[in-house]
Structure 1
Amino acid sequence: MPISRSTAAPRRSTPLALAALAAAALLTGCSSAPEPAAEAKSAAGPSVIAPGRPGEEAETLSPEEAERRKPDDSPNSADFTYIQMMIDHHGQALEMTRLVPGRVHSKRVRALADRIEAGQKPEIGAMKAWLKNNGGPRGKGHDHEAMAGMATPKQLEQLERADGEEFDRLFLKLMTTHHQGAVTMATEVLGAGNNVLVEEMANDVIATQTTEIDRMRDLP
């Protein structure tokens, strides 16, 4: 007896099912398309939170508004004068440290001189780069005697002729005075200058050389 196969009749879509499919397609299309406002916000970049003054709430600014509100830190004459003078000031410190080999007695004094040289060489490079990037020099000319803490030519000659413990004593005396002068110059530019980078370099000078002054006072 032949086997009869029943073929299932295709199901007909009811009006309700068609309506549901149409609604689902519409929702899918809406969810995949980005909102114009979101696109515009993304293209403008992230917002910036600006802290308010004491007692005031913070503000949410656009990148453009935040850029407009940035303070003007264009270098002024005090910034240029400080950088030019401090380059020469550091230069004399290196001149003194170069006299250490062959004359120094204390290993601790030798180590201190090495630290001073290692710190001030790159600082000179950074200050020269700052001058170049800002179109300097623009400050007035200056002489060594006008800079605080600078050793005189006679004092440098005495240091060059000294040896052993006498050299250590004179080196520490001159370098302490030299560092104190650098701290004075850096403190002055913090009040008279306008450039943020110069301010950062001056603060570094104050912190580093104040620490080294304390070390030199502890040395014999």
Structure 2
Amino acid sequence: MRRIVGGVLVALLVAACSAEPEAPPVVVPGAPGEPARTLPADEASGAVPANQHNDADVAYVQRMILHHGQAIRMGSLAPARAAREDVKGLAARITATQGPEITTMTAWLRQRGLEVPGEHAGHHGHAADHGPMPGMATEEQLAALEAASGPEFDRQFLQLMTVHHEGAITMASEVLGAGSDVFVEEMAGDVIASQSDEVTRMRTMAG
């Protein structure tokens, strides 16, 4: 299942390296038993499979958009503040991966006429009325990260992002048991796989 969602990310990431201004094609997973399709970007948002979903699926997608948003906020600080090249590389990978995932999740909500959470809410760790999200950094922690530089930034970044990833894995694991939408299941499985790998890497980097 991860290959399908991963295909969406690969198509977008490859296109990001191109000088062409046109939006890249997107690989959209088919309904159960159907093959994936490659569509122009302007058609992809309306082609996400409309499987049966429940409240757990909706809450997960809305919350994960905000959760990813905070990861991107932290990752965007690394180019100017990190001392280590491996920290900069990790931050770039996180930003490049989670940005397209936000695009995919936003398309899923819009196709169903559901609310797309505002970006500002992600800074506080809440989505609609669903309560705090696991792993989210506080505003105080974010302020400290934004004020840090060099080795101290690297230390704080690895610590905060490890906890952040662990929270995302918890959320994804929960929706696998409570949700009913096949596409959400695929997205959650991809989050668990990719972020588990990154947690292992960050723990090694942190020593």
TM-score, normalized by length of structure 1? 0.64
Work out which structure has the larger RCO, using CA pairs closer than 8 Å and 6 or more positions apart in sequence: 2
- Distance in 2 (alpha carbons) for counterparts of 1:103 and 1:190: 37
Cα shift at 1:138: 9.1
SS of the residue corresponding to residue 189 of structure 1 reads helix
2:169 to 183, 186, 194: 183
Give the aligned partner of residue 159 of structure 1.
Answer: 145
After the TM superposition, list the runs of 4 or more consecutive aligned residues in structure 1 that deviate by more than 6 angstroms. Answer: none
- Distance in 1 (alpha carbons) for counterparts of 2:129 and 2:100: 23
Residues 85-104 of structure 1: per-residue CA shift (max 9 Å, x gap): 00000000000011112210
- Distance in 1 (alpha carbons) for counterparts of 2:196 and 2:157: 17
Mapped contact 1:79–1:189 kept (Cα < 8 A): yes
Residues 79/138 of structure 1: CA separation in 2 closer, same or farther (3 Å cut): farther
State the identity %: 53
Cα shift at 1:141: 1.5
Mapped contact 2:62–2:116 kept (Cα < 8 A): no
Give the aligned partner of residue 79 of structure 2.
Answer: 101
Residues 36-69 of structure 1: per-residue CA shift (max 9 Å, x gap): xxxxxxxxxxxxxx9xxxxxxxxxxxxxxxxxxx
> Which structure has the bigger radius of gyration?
1
Matched length: 149
Give the aligned partner of residue 92 of structure 1.
Answer: 70
Unaligned runs of 5+ in 2: 1-32, 34-49, 118-126
Give the aligned partner of residue 141 of structure 1.
Answer: 128
1:212 correspondence with 2:198:
yes
1:131 correspondence with 2:117:
no
Amino acid at match of 2:190: D
Structure 1 segment 1-220 matched on structure 2, within 5 A: 73-137=51-115, 141-142=128-129, 146-220=132-206
- Distance in 1 (alpha carbons) for counterparts of 2:196 and 2:137: 18
Unaligned runs of 5+ in 1: 1-49, 51-71
